[in-house]
Structure 1
Amino acid sequence: MKVIVMGAGVIGVTTAYYLAKAGAEVTVLDRQPGPGLETSYANAGELSYGMTSPWAAPGIPMKAVKWLFMKRRPLFIWPLISPTMWAWSVQMIRNCNEESYRTNKSRMVRVSNYSRDVMPDLIAETGIEYEGRAQGTLQLFRNEKQLKGSKADQEILAEYDSPFELLDRDGCIAVEPALAQVREKFVGGLRLTADRTGDCRLFTIALAEKCAEMGVEFQYGQSIREILVENGKVAGVRTEIAGTMTADAYVCALGSYGTRLLKQIGVRIPVYPVKGYSVTLPVTEDTLAPQSTIMDETHKVAITRLGDRIRVAGTAEIAGYSNRLGPHATDTVRHVIGDLFPGGGDISKAEGWTGLRPMTPDGTPVLGQSRYDNLFLNTGHGTLGWTMACGSGRAVADVVLGRKPEISFDGLTAERYGT
């Protein structure tokens, strides 16, 4: 079977790997000059199995209003004249109830846990290096209210068999010794012991190289202009440079940018870009730097150790398809690293970045077959693309090849949106 995968981010490359491993003839198309140069480039570096939850949760609308008035707020909303943005926002608000939250979380955890289970096999098979660590995530609470509020999270973690530890101040310092220098700034934490870390872009590049060794053809600099449909099936994709390319099956893994392309052929999925920011800076003193990932609960900022670098990521900005990196865009993430790990990294050498997370209003990715028999979707992972990549890539590859996937696709396909 010949398959065209649209997109060379971590989602597209993992899908290509599992397709090629099963014997498919795979071509990957991407507009960038190489793999992992969009949302996969400088994300938080977290494999957040324990923190797999939809943003649409009970109480979030009220919290969002409060965040808008914080000096270093985790959320920005620009009032664009965009029916698509407002429709997506309304759908998200409608999911902010207990019943929807539990339904959506169960679907997300199904993919996340599967990814957690299959990723070690992929690493063992390929031997790729990506600055990976397996030391968990520490959710850091700056006040007693946050600590007490985590009880509900603990109950949900236990329900979904996600291992965790509730730590006091000394316990947090035991797992992240550098926090001893700012011990007065927090009261405790929740450590998610199954979480891992690693550089998503390094992983994507290394896996793309393995795919190429397996015979996968990567065509970079190929902007896809149109998906062609004939007689109820996809007949090809029209690219800007190579013209029309054909295959037996097609996988759309274009993140936020796939929505407009799919809309042209009647596949309407509410995947909307939510902008995120990060900075990456060199470690200056190991004993003063983080060892794994720390999530600052107040600012919703993740600080992750990646070899001799520190990645600090956060902020959700709803601003359409803007990739602008303004002069003050990374102020919040810069503040958090300086506040919690002073002396651990050289902020003067921090490299800023912004990317568009492909978010669904219910938090669950859109996977599997579309309304067309030979068109398949692997998109809408939001902030959890790196976390879910191996699981969704393997499961979607199975569906493309007509094999029974190892997880249920109930509630994961585009059918839940009536398209």
Structure 2
Amino acid sequence: MKVLVLGSGVIGVASAYYLAKAGHEVTVVDRQPAPALETSYANAGEVSPGYSAPWAGPGVPVKAVKWLLMKHGPLVVRPRLDPAMWIWMAQMLANCTSARYAVNKARMVRLAEYSRDLLRALRAETGISYDERSRGTLQLFREAAQLEATAKDAAILAESGVPHEVLDVEGCIRAEPALARVREKFVGGFRLPDDETGDCHLFTQKLAALCADMGVVFRQGVNIKALSVEGGRLAGASTDAGFLTADAYVLALGSFSPLLLRPLGLSIPVYPVKGYSITAPIIDEAAAPVSTVMDETYKVAITRLGDRIRVGGTAEVCGYDMTLRPARRATLDHSVGDLFPDGGDLTKASFWCGLRPMTPDGTPVIGPTRLSNLYLNTGHGTLGWTMACGSGRVIADIISGRKADIETADLAMSRYG
């Protein structure tokens, strides 16, 4: 079968890889000159199944007000005359219940754990390397109340069989020795020992090279203008390189997916939430993180990537605005400078932002649509890197008519009614 994958971020390239492995003839189209140059380019670097949780949860509305008032708060909302923004925020509020949180987190962990296992298998099979480490994630708490609030997450993780441990200050230092220099800054942590780290951009580009060796065609630098429908099927994609056709289509354009779907009468609650990162060279290995430390107060992830420290976080709801705002960098600088003051050279750090494709329930949208040959693989939010291999394998199984290894019905857009 000829399959056209729209999008060459980590989700699109992973989809292409597993489709090619299943024996399909695959073409990938993207407006960028090379794979992984948008949201997959400089994310926080976490492959964190255990930290896979929806942003919407009990108590979040109250926390959001607090975050909006903080100097280095993790949340910024810039109101726009955009109905999609307000509808999406209302839907997120509707998911801020204990019952919805439990359902949403459980299915996110299911996909993320599956994806992590597939990533390990891919690494063993191909030898692909991408500054990867398997040293876990440490969620670091500056306040006792944060530590006490881990009970609900621990219960869900235990039910899903995900290893985890609650740590005191000394336990955190054993996991991340550099924190001994700032032991007065935190009260404890929650560690997920099976989580991994790695450079998503490097991984995606190397996986694209493997795809090319398998016969996948990459048409980079091609703008996708519109999709055309005939007789309940997708007829093709209009691009500035002509009208492209295939037997099946996978839409993996992240935050831009809804824009192509709306003219077709299809609606998914995916909205862009801008995130930022800085990447600094390590100047003292003993003072740098070993793996990923999640600063819970500021919702900032501090990750070791080879000889660099990647610091990612903040959530800015501002539509498709890609302005790099110095105040957001100040938050990242503050967090890493507070916890790892001697680890990296922030004066030489690069500054970046990307649009996370967020759903109100946190779960991506993976599966069929009412158009018989159009499939979606989008809406992964902050977890595209974590869920990439699992999402690619799931969509390949669905298109190939195979039963997936995990439950997939509740991942499709049909869950929204």
Aligned 1:16-35 pairs, distance under 5 A: 16-35=16-35
Deviation at 1:312, TM superposition (A): 0.3
Deviation at 1:114, TM superposition (A): 1.1
Equivalent residue letter for 2:82: S
Which residue in the other structure is 1:344 paired with? 343
**Larger CA deviation: 343-352 vs 159-168:** 159-168
Which residue in the other structure is 1:334 paired with? 333
Aligned 1:163-202 pairs, distance under 5 A: 163-202=163-202
Deviation at 1:355, TM superposition (A): 0.3
Equivalent residue letter for 1:9: G
Paired residues of 2:270 and 2:358 also in contact (CA < 8 A): yes
Aligned 1:264-343 pairs, distance under 5 A: 264-343=263-342
Deviation at 1:70, TM superposition (A): 0.6
Equivalent residue letter for 2:368: Q
Aligned 1:17-416 pairs, distance under 5 A: 17-240=17-240, 242-416=241-415
RMSD: 0.9
Deviation at 1:327, TM superposition (A): 2.8
Equivalent residue letter for 1:45: G
Q: Output one character per residue of 1:273-326: Cα deviation in whole Å (capped at 9) or x when no partner.
A: 000000000000000000100000111100000000000001000000011102
Equivalent residue letter for 1:61: P
CA distance in 2, matches of 1:102, 1:174: 31
Equivalent residue letter for 1:334: D
Q: Output one character per residue of 1:228-260: Cα deviation in whole Å (capped at 9) or x when no partner.
A: 1111111111101x1101110000000001111
**Larger CA deviation: 107-116 vs 57-66:** 107-116
Q: Output one character per residue of 1:328-372: Cα deviation in whole Å (capped at 9) or x when no partner.
A: 321101111111001110000010000000000111110011111
Paired residues of 2:77 and 2:316 also in contact (CA < 8 A): yes
**Larger CA deviation: 114-123 vs 176-185:** 114-123
CA distance in 2, matches of 1:104, 1:140: 23
Q: Output one character per residue of 1:145-177: Cα deviation in whole Å (capped at 9) or x when no partner.
A: 222222222222212211111111111111111
**Larger CA deviation: 125-134 vs 143-152:** 143-152
Paired residues of 2:314 and 2:328 also in contact (CA < 8 A): no
Classify the secondary structure of the residue corresponding to 1:278.
Answer: strand
Deviation at 1:101, TM superposition (A): 1.1
Q: Output one character per residue of 1:346-402: Cα deviation in whole Å (capped at 9) or x when no partner.
A: 000010000000000111110011111110000001000000000010010111111
Deviation at 1:417, TM superposition (A): 1.8
Q: What TM-score do you get using the length of structure 2 for normalisation?
A: 0.99
Deviation at 1:186, TM superposition (A): 0.8
CA distance in 1, matches of 2:62, 2:95: 14
CA distance in 1, matches of 2:376, 2:137: 30
Classify the secondary structure of the residue corresponding to 1:229.
Answer: strand
Equivalent residue letter for 1:263: R
CA distance in 2, matches of 1:125, 1:266: 41
CA distance in 1, matches of 2:143, 2:395: 42
Paired residues of 2:377 and 2:391 also in contact (CA < 8 A): yes
Paired residues of 2:59 and 2:96 also in contact (CA < 8 A): yes
Q: What TM-score do you get using the length of structure 1 for normalisation?
A: 0.98
CA distance in 1, matches of 2:232, 2:100: 33
Paired residues of 2:367 and 2:398 also in contact (CA < 8 A): yes
Runs of 4+, deviation exceeding 4 Å = none
Classify the secondary structure of the residue corresponding to 1:328.
Answer: helix
Equivalent residue letter for 2:212: A
Q: Output one character per residue of 1:33-68: Cα deviation in whole Å (capped at 9) or x when no partner.
A: 000001000000001110111111011011101111
Identity of aligned residues (%): 61
Aligned residues: 417
- Structure 1: unaligned runs, 5 residues or longer: none
Equivalent residue letter for 2:315: A
CA distance in 2, matches of 1:127, 1:227: 37
Equivalent residue letter for 1:253: A
CA distance in 1, matches of 2:194, 2:33: 34
- Structure 2: unaligned runs, 5 residues or longer: none
Classify the secondary structure of the residue corresponding to 1:86.
Answer: helix
